Amino acid sequence: MPNPPDCEWLASLPLVLAGPILQRVETETVTVWVALKQSCRVMLTIYSTADRGQTIGEPLFRNSQQTVALGQSLHVVAVSAIAPAGRPLTSDALYAYDLSFHETYSLAVHTLPQGLVAADRPAINLSYFDHPLPTFALPPQDVADLRLVHGSCRKPGGEGFDALPVLDSLIADAADQPCHRPHQLLLTGDQIYADDVADPLLWVATRLGDALLGWEEQLPIGLDRLGQMIYQTPRSLPPGERSTVATDQAGLTAGLPRQPKKSNSHLFGLGEFYAAYLLGWSPACWPTLPPGRILYQEPKLIRQWDADVRKLRQFIHTLGKVQRSLANIPVYTIFDDHDVSDDWNLNRAWCLRVLGRPLGQRIVQNALLAYATFQAWGNTPEQFTAGQPGGALLAAAQDWAASAGSNVQAYGAVGRYVGMPATDAQTRQPKFVRCGQTLVLDRHPDALTWHYTIRSPCHEIILLDTRTWRGYPADQPPPAPPMLLCPEAYEQQLGQTLQPDSAASGDSILSPRLTFVVAPTNVFGLNVIDWVHEIQLRRRRVFASDVGDAWNIHSPALAQLLQYLFDRRQQVVVLSGDIHYSAAVRLTYQSGSSPPAVLVQLTASAFKNEETLTRLIHTRLKSWLLPERVRRWRGWRQPPDMVELPRKGDRATPPDWRCALEWIPRQPVCYPSFSKPNDWLPLPERRNELLRSRWYQPLLFWLSRWFQSGREVVGLNNIALVQFRAASRDRALSVVQDVYWFSPWRPIQLVYSRYEGEIKPNSAQLEPLDKAKGG
């Protein structure tokens, strides 16, 4: 049970621990996710508005839903309201919503503002208007009016300012304009970091997790000399001291090679994973962080703790803006590795190493249960109704919590529904099944589906699950790079989804809709990264640099991806993250005598995880030393494969298709007119310090605006706004990605870099392939 100080802390928290987060929004349904301290029936009501959102109109429809008890003091729900038949929501209007909370064990009813209030905490305002309600707008009819925001990789203890709060400014700037405010937010991976956790964050997460659960989880650490399982609680594995257990007992690879700091405070317990989400989305659950001298005596440890606390205090300082923005825009997410652990399912070697150990299995299952209840429920609410796998998972999660972690049947059911692979009884290793020439982790047929699609009149977005449906080469050693989608997954996630659209209009520029594909790991990246991956693969140091997460490290898989896309669509926009920089590229593809097709990849990363290397490639130094050049490939259909020029193909047959990749240049830095981050960004005690730094910043050459103007990428913490406009000629559409970041030459100045390119093939880049011999 929680100790008395934790009980007092829990009692001081507001009813609403995190949220509300607006999630899946369609013309007929609206889903809102919220985490509460008490069991409630939550009522969601959708309203019309007038006066450009200033006035709340009549209630349009409502629905209520009971929360799910994930712990004694943690109750979560994604409540969906359905519009009456024949009265759908429209794309040219602003809507508002309200929540009310009806306590299960009393007659008390709380309004949304009441649920957000706590005695010793500042008031939370979720509205951009004079009224207190959050608002939203549906995607428009015309793709030229569509506004998407995307980003990835948000580590609370990472370097630099958090870029996600910039979303609040983007919404505020056009909150009263349904066709111009951002319509959807796509979080493309690493919403939390289970590895590389700052020690103070784990210190809070462990205590908060235990307090919310109301019990301490018994983690299976390993076997003693007599072959009996040893159990320890999360609190008995303190911050900064988990690396050995994470690496040797759980088999995790985050600390390899010689990087123990990245696993020193790895999340283990279910309560810790729940807490990581709450702490990343809301300021409500954060206590005052103690100074290092209270916990340590060694000066080095004190300094490191205090440095981490300063980063976290800055992160907490802007969480109110994050909470407001997530309440006012439909949010869609998909996981990547850090939501579970670095290198999650990277290759078959990782699966055998981690999923063959009790602690490794427990950590992965805890992470997936937290992802399912905190993210996937709102992404695909239809899966979490009664009689569906998600509904069964919620029931099992409640049983597991009610038993204080002792109900073996409930634990097994959780594993079944989140897709944990079956284990061989003799070897204790995870089971694989054959899928073409690859091996895929075995799972129960009732497991949740993580990939999904969202559609509007002007666009469709396919969010890929490239983590749990990997195809590991059956004829190669375990460290070999996998197909990020096995053959069966290509058909499930792309083949069945990219069907002809009966809603296509004959005069549409883009027929039928503009197709987006969210690929959490980059389809195309910097050439130097490909070189590093090839070198590390030959040295079998695959965990050091994520060899296996890049699509083009496995050329047959990349070839098959391109074929699946271009056999069904002529224009595709890929949204990606993962790589800790932002960029834009355009691929022109032609198969036989067919008209050429085009793929534009827009990358946005990281919200908060800039590093020394990304700061370097952000500058002109990268453009001088390692400029990106046009790359060209020839490809074959059966079996799928592709080779890059100037290398010649190994086949005697002529290629079936060819493609060329070019980088869309980063335009000169611009200053937005809508935001003054010096008013809200820095901690009060740091504001004067940062303002004073303006006097000497011009003397630091490497921080100057000129040197920071690299050609290809933005390597500082950033967030991207994507919009479209019709080009002046031949009715082609241009895509514009504005990447917002904080300038080094004026540290509290928000700037943006623009990437703009037409969504049409550049056939001129294919001409060298026609002239080249061989293949």
Give the pairing of strands 718-726 and 733-742. antiparallel
**62 is written with which tokens?**
């409502």
DSSP-derived secondary structure for 187-234: E-S-SS-SSS--HHHHHHHHHHHHHHHSS---EEEEE-TTSPEEEE-G
Which residue ranges make up each domain of the chain? Answer: 4-139, 450-633+659-775
Distance CA 364, CA 366 (A): 5
**687 is written with which tokens?**
């504001």
Peptide bond connecting 430 to the previous residue in cis, omega within 30 degrees of 0: no
Which tens digits make up the pLDDT trace of 277-289?
999 999 999 999 9
| H-run or E-run covering 531 | helix 527-538
Q: Which residues contact 43 (CB under 8 A, 6 or more apart)?
A: 62, 63, 64, 79, 99, 100, 101, 102
Query: By the 8 A CB rule, do 202 and 265 touch?
Result: yes
Give the pairing of strands 147-151 and 219-223. unpaired
DSSP-derived secondary structure for 42-75: EEEEEEEEETTTTEEEEEEEEEEEE-EEEETTEE
Beta bridge partners of 517: 462, 574
Q: How far is residue 328 from each of residues 24, 133, 523, 619, 621, measured CA to CA in Å?
A: 12, 9, 30, 35, 40
Looking at residue 650, its pLDDT comes to: 67
- Backbone φ/ψ region at 43: left (φ over 0), alpha (ψ -120 to 50), beta: beta
Peptide bond connecting 512 to the previous residue in cis, omega within 30 degrees of 0: yes
Looking at residue 507, its pLDDT comes to: 39
Q: Which residues contact 348 (CB under 8 A, 6 or more apart)?
A: 432, 439, 472, 478, 479, 480, 482
HSE at residue 697, side-chain half, CA atoms within 13 A, is: 20
Full 3-state SS string of 165-191: CHHHHHHHHCCCCCCCCCCEEEECCCC
Q: How far is residue 308 from each of residues 120, 297, 302, 311, measured CA to CA in Å?
A: 24, 17, 10, 5
**612 is written with which tokens?**
């020394």
Query: By the 8 A CB rule, do 172 and 34 touch?
Result: no
Low-confidence ranges of the chain (pLDDT < 50): 1, 502-511, 774-775
Which tens digits make up the pLDDT trace of 238-263?
999 999 999 999 999 999 988 899 99
Distance CA 315, CA 157 (A): 8
Distance CA 78, CA 18 (A): 12
Give the pairing of strands 184-187 and 331-333. parallel
Q: pTM here?
A: 0.96
Looking at residue 624, its pLDDT comes to: 93
- DSSP E strands, 416-458: 432-435, 438-441, 452-455
Query: In this structure, which amino acid lies at residue 410?
Result: A
**31 is written with which tokens?**
């889903």
**263 is written with which tokens?**
């696993």
Helices (H) and strands (E) in the chain, counts: 21, 29
Q: How far is residue 200 from each of residues 70, 310, 560, measured CA to CA in Å?
A: 24, 10, 45
| H-run or E-run covering 718 | strand 718-726
Distance of CA 770 to the CA centre of its chain: 40
Cβ neighbours of 385 (radius 10 Å): 11
Which residue reads 């109110």 in tokens?
320
Distance CA 134, CA 328 (A): 5
Query: By the 8 A CB rule, do 483 and 348 touch?
Result: no
User: Angle CA(504)–CA(506)–CA(511) in degrees, nearest 5?
Assistant: 45
Distance CA 654, CA 649 (A): 9
Q: Which residues contact 482 (CB under 8 A, 6 or more apart)?
A: 346, 347, 348, 438, 470, 471, 472, 473, 548, 554, 557
Q: What CATH fold (topology level) applies to the domain 4-139?
A: Immunoglobulin-like (2.60.40)
Could you tell me which of 752, 592, 598, 722 has the C-alpha nearest to residue 660? 598
Looking at residue 682, its pLDDT comes to: 87
Distance CA 691, CA 688 (A): 5
Q: How far is residue 210 from each of residues 7, 220, 364, 404, 711, measured CA to CA in Å?
A: 10, 17, 19, 11, 48
Query: By the 8 A CB rule, do 436 and 486 touch?
Result: yes
Q: How far is residue 648 from each of residues 87, 270, 537, 591, 688, measured CA to CA in Å?
A: 59, 51, 22, 18, 60
Which tens digits make up the pLDDT trace of 585-632?
999 999 988 999 999 999 999 999 999 999 999 999 998 999 999 999
Looking at residue 548, its pLDDT comes to: 87
**63 is written with which tokens?**
């629905």
**319 is written with which tokens?**
């969480």
Distance CA 342, CA 153 (A): 12
Distance of CA 399 to the CA centre of its chain: 29
User: Angle CA(65)–CA(70)–CA(75) in degrees, nearest 5?
Assistant: 45
Looking at residue 775, its pLDDT comes to: 42
Q: Burial, 316: exposed, middle or buried (Cβ in 10 Å; 0-12, 13-18, 19+)?
A: middle
